[in-house]
Amino acid sequence: MKRIVGIVLLLAACGPKKAMEVNEIAQLKDLGDVMKVQAQAMDPLFKKAGQASFADDEWLKIADSAARVAATTAKVKDFSKGKGFDDLNLQLADQARRLADAAQAKNAGDAGKLIGEMKATCKSCHKQFR
């Protein structure tokens, strides 16, 4: 019996972690942790860059990701690496705000375009500051 309980606990620990609540992001103390949350929010969306339409469940994910990026960009201000870094962070924050608006309006053209722009912003930042 103990062996079964141990296996169940091990499997539970290896399973997917519950996504951090948006309101918890402000409590993060490390830039790496903030970037992990940002990656978890956006990496799945990057495959949808330029997509012409989205299903209802995708709109929910897009809105959630936009909210997470808005929260992470607000927190990234605590970890400035200089003007270039700050400018890219502001750009990403603006893109996240516009993505949230596109999700609210279910504007697939804008959403697909913004996801692509956000991917480019992330790549640019990683190239310069990672």
Residue 102: partners with Cβ closer than 8 Å, 6 or more residues away: 62, 108, 110, 111, 114
Q: Give the closest residue to 92 by CA, choosing from 113, 120, 111.
A: 120
* pLDDT score of 19: 74
Q: What is the mean pLDDT of residues 11-35?
A: 79
> What's the CATH code, domain 2-129?
1.20.120
The model carries a pTM of 0.84
* pLDDT score of 5: 44
* pLDDT score of 1: 56
Every domain of the chain and the residues it spans: 2-129
Residue 18, class by beta-carbon neighbours within 10 Å (0-12 exposed, 13-18 middle, 19+ buried)? exposed
